[in-house]
Every structure is written in C-alpha cells, then in structure tokens.
Structure 1
C-alpha cells in the first residue's frame, strides 16, 4: 500500500526530499529473543503518535545545500552524509527549519524502532523490511567497505529505505543501558542516563547482521564524528 508522502523543497535550490506519513499505533519495543542483548530489554509496550519520517537518510547533496560543506569520508551526492556528530545534526536541522519554515527534528528512539518495524503494517521482520538483510541493507558482508547511495535496496513496509545498514542514525534520546523506566508514549527519553551520549540505531556498512536488527540499539558520544554515523529527519 502506498503511504502518503510529503515532498519538501529547499528554497533557492532544485533539491527536495520526501517525508513518509506514519500512522501512530502501539507496538512492543525491544526484544526478549535469545539473541537479544541486555540493552534491548525489557521489551515493553509503547504507543507512538502519528508523525513523518524521511524516506532516506540525509544525503550529502541535501547536507551541502543547507550547510555549504561536506564532511563525509565516502563522497557522493546520493550517499548518506556521515562524519556528522549529534551536535552537527542539530545545527543542520536548525538551519533547515529556518530555511523551510518547518519543524524538522531527529526521531525519538521509539519512533525510529516503530518505523523500522513497519508501524501498523509491520510483518514482524528481523530487519527493516525483510528477514534477509541482503535484500534491504548494506552491512559488512556486502558493502565492500563503504557506504552506498541511498535507496538501492528494497524499502520496508512503510516505504522507508536504508533503515537497516548503510549508516547508523542518530536519535534524539539520551543513552540508557536498558529500557527500565523508558517512556511509553513515544517521546524522547531525555532524563537520566549519560547526557553526553546519544542513541544511534540501524547498523551500518561495517557491522555484522546482528547490529542491523530492528531491535538492536547502540550509542555514541554526541560530539563524535564517525564515517559510519549519519541521521534521518522526522517531523510531528
């Protein structure tokens, strides 16, 4: 089923990007599977309000149009931007919002996992859109040691691409070692934890398949810049 899409143009350029409308709903966040790590537990119910999420990670072309530079290690307009810190992503979003008059932001961790799982259309896949990672994502066994242009693999049930693999994606949330005490309303978990560490999701071109599972979660220091971390836009 085709999901509603909002296309955002960038004033002063020929560029635009698509935001997928994601109907809210309830899901079980985290995992209790045998391969689940402690950081994915306890699995718990979360209700996420409707929101929009970008069809692709932010590309280098989009980053350059807004910021006027390209920090990426693996250069290519249609590759995801990387070597951007959480702080860098926030600066980009502020400039994008000033330019468009919109209110883009990073997704919350709950929004990210809900979307990766396919929202109300989710079929219970291990990865975002399939039980076979090679169909939907770039990781250590098929990436040849680099990022790839976005959108080359199959999308998930919501029409989102590259949610498993290619680059890790920053979320708004502060990192907590487990889900004990996590919000159940889909909001960002900003209290407690280590305020200098933020959540990244989805896995990347240089990790194994386990890190690309929709339930897997990881972290990075908010001012670190790595060639395997990018981000994706969300909007309420």
Structure 2
C-alpha cells in the first residue's frame, strides 16, 4: 500500500508498484493510473494535482501488473498468427489476452491491422480502408525501431496477400475515404454520372486506385482456393474512369446497330425481352459497338477494380433466378458504385488478351495485349448458370474472340481524360 496523499500532493512509489487505483471521496468509481517502471530508472512519481480530485483522497492502493512485452516482439507474434497461421482469430485472441502488457500504441496498431485482415477476408472494402487508416495513424507516431518493425509487418501482409496492395506507408485517404485515389476524382471535380445522348445509356464513375489484382486467399476455415490463372496478386494502378451502369441492354444494342447501319450482324439467338443483356456477342462486335458510342471495352484491371469496389451489389447466380436467365439488366441492387451485375448474370468481355497467369502483368491498369495469342480474350464476372461460390471479383475466364455463347455479354467504359461530346453530365 502506497502512502496516502492529500489533494495536489505527490505520491512516491516503490519500483514494483506499476498500477494504482486512486479513489476520491464523493466521486463514484476509481481512476486507474498505470505506470511503467523500467530497470535502472528512478522510481515512478505521480503528481496527483494533474487529476484535480474534488475531495480528499481516501486511499491509494497498488497492484503489480505483468511484465511489459517489447513492441518488436509483439509485432513478430502477430505476424506469426496472421501470416504463418493465417488466422486473424488467433491474432485477436493473443492481443486481448496480453493487452495489459502492451503499450496502447502498439496494441491499437496491431489490433487495427488484424481487423483489416479480417475485413479483407470478408470483402468489406470500406471497413478494410478504415482499419488501415487507423493503423497508419499509429504507425506515424512510432519511434524509429518500432516503426521499422511495423512497416515490415505492413509489407509482409501485402506480400502474403492478406491485405490489399495499395495502402502504402504515408498515404492519406481521399475525400471519399479511399486511400491513394488518383486523378480528378480525388479532387472531386469529375461528375459521378454521365449519359450517352443518343442511346440514353448511363455510366458511373469508378475512382482510380492502386490495389492488389489477383486472387485473395481464403481465411482458415473457409472453403475455396486460388486458381493459377488468378495468381500472383500484384499491385496495379488504375486511373479514374466511367463504367456503364448495366450490361449492354438488348434493346439499345439492336436499335443502335440498325439505326446506324453498322456492318454488324445481330446474332440470331439474341431474342426476347428488350431489357435483358445483349448476348452471343463476339468480342470484335462488342468492341466496335463501344467505339461507335465514343467508349471502349474496359481493361481487365478496370473491370477488377469496379467489381471489388462495388460493395452491396446483387450477385446473379443459379439460385437467384432459379436457373432461368439472364435477369434484366437492372434486376437487384446496384451496390455502392451504382453499377449492376458486375458479378453474375452474363460474363463480360474486356480488352485484354488472355494470359495463363499474372506473371509479367503490367502495373499501369491499361489493357495487357502483348505476349500471348490475340485470338483469345479475357471474360470476367461469371454467369447466371453457375453457383455463387464460383463467382468472385478475381475469377477469370477466356474464349476465342469470335464465339457466340448465350452466357457472354459486355459493357463499355469511358476514360475520364477528355470524354467525347456524345456524352452529357447526369442521368
């Protein structure tokens, strides 16, 4: 038991008394004062006047706490749980069990980082970004030795594919809470929606971002794995662009082709409801249609970013529509970006030539069109004919560019830099 002070007095503590609970008469509860006494340093002293008690101190009692865990050791332990064991659950458990032995800064940093891993596993994009921003604030305040350990953990998690590549040390969040936004969208000067004047087709803004393209490994206890075609995950920087709000509707596709007298043969199997997606469209026809709009097919990286960023969108799979599809282009929820059916309904052509994996993939976000057979093009998004477990933002497919399959459709994209006069701002 330490000596009892008067209000505004000084308490001189033995070196073993690391924790005090200070009780003031007339004030409910206790005020806990936690001290760290290090070997070789003077005994800790607490100035009671800093806490401005409103009555006389009735008692001050002390109790020892567990030995402090070095911050570098804490980094190493959490790294083991997250990377070697691939378990954010065990990381959380260890942090909770040892919270009293960790500084508030290192605990906050490691907890935010493990929470970010958990959010990444659950595809909770916004939550991942928030947790990473929280971890970054702690990181900026660390001393040199601890900062080196913490930055190393950041890098290890990215290399281990447990965190999205793109939240680099020192990056700040843009006005929408998205880290490392690029171009005009980060400055808030790009319209969210543009409309093609002739067809009425709308396009919504996808803010540019540096992110990790490729498969995200599943957490322990979940099923599924990465295909070789989806690896390795790699950092890609995509500039701002607009993506068509829906798959290309059959009505707009048919009308535009006929009204313009284009040299495009409408596939005989694209019949039925005008609001279903245009299907059985070969790659070259889809590309020509987009070009005549003043648009283009999206790159694979652009498509990937849009799909990952569109939280809350409906996934149109076999169960959703009872195996009879596809659904109409505006069926279900459009998600955070306001873009329908990036996942499911019909597969969508992108510009890129098919490569069997991402080795050697460019990091600029533009189409990857060299180094492989140009007759084979990439398809993204999955279809209504498969189950939801087979539909992910990173799942890749391919086919010959001149095939006519009823599960293949497309949508167009527009670059932010100098959109053509064929477009107007707003719906």
State the TM-score, normalizing by the size of structure 1: 0.84
Name the SS of the counterpart of 1:117 in structure 2.
helix
Matches within 5 A, 1:155-234: 155-234=334-413
1:199/1:217 contact within 8 Å kept:
yes
> Is it true that 1:30 corresponds to 2:214 in the alignment?
yes
SS of aligned partner of 1:83: coil
If each structure's helix is expressed as a fraction of its own residues, which one has the higher value?
Answer: 2
- Is the Cα–Cα contact under 8 Å of residues 80 and 150 in structure 1 kept in the other structure? yes
- Does 2:231 align with 1:41? yes
| Structure 2 unaligned spans of 5+ | 1-175, 177-190, 219-224, 259-264, 416-427
Structure 1: gaps of 5 or more residues = 119-127
2:375 aligned counterpart, secondary structure: strand
**Residue among 319, 324, 349 paired with 1:141:** 319
Distance in 1 (alpha carbons) for counterparts of 2:207 and 2:356: 29
* Structure 2 Cα separation of the partners of residues 62 and 90 of structure 1: 15
Corresponding residue for 1:150? 329
Question: How far, CA to CA, are the matches of 1:6 and 1:63 in structure 2?
Answer: 18
1:106 corresponds to? 297
Q: Deviations over 1:109-155 (max 9, x none)?
A: 0000001111xxxxxxxxx534xxxx612212222322110121112
Count of residue pairs brought into register by the alignment: 212
CA distance in 2, matches of 1:110, 1:211: 20
Q: How big is the shift at 1:61? A: 1.1
Shift of 1:77: 0.9
Greater relative contact order, per chain length (Cα 8 Å cut-off, separation 6+): 1
Moved more, 181-190 or 65-74: 65-74
What secondary structure does 1:184 align onto?
coil
* Structure 2 partner of 1:8: 196
Report the Cα offset of residue 85 of structure 1: 0.6
Rounded Cα–Cα distance in structure 2 between residues aligned with 1:224 and 1:199: 12
The structure that is strand-richer by fraction is 1
The question of whether the paired residues in 2 share the 8 Å contact of 1:202 and 1:211 is answered with no
Q: Cα deviation per residue 1:93-113 (whole Å; 9 max; x = unaligned)?
A: 24x33xxxx3x0000000000
Which is higher, the Rg of structure 1 or of structure 2? 2
**Given that residues 243 and 413 in structure 2 are in contact (C-alpha distance below 8 angstroms), is that contact kept between their aligned partners in structure 1?**
yes
Counterpart of 2:307 (choices 112, 116, 124) is: 116
Determine the structure 1 residue equivalent to 2:68.
none
**RMSD after superposition:** 1.8
Q: Cα offset for 1:70?
A: 4.9
TM-score, normalization: structure 2? 0.48
| In structure 2, distance between residues paired with 1:203 and 1:67 | 26
2-structure distance, mates of 1:27, 1:48: 8
Asked whether the equivalents of residues 74 and 147 of structure 1 are also in contact (C-alpha less than 8 Å), the reply is no
Matched, 1:18 2:215: no
Does the CA contact (< 8 Å) of 1:31 and 1:215 recur in 2?
Answer: yes
- Cα pair 2:250 2:270 within 8 Å, conserved: no
Q: Corresponding residue for 2:286?
A: 89
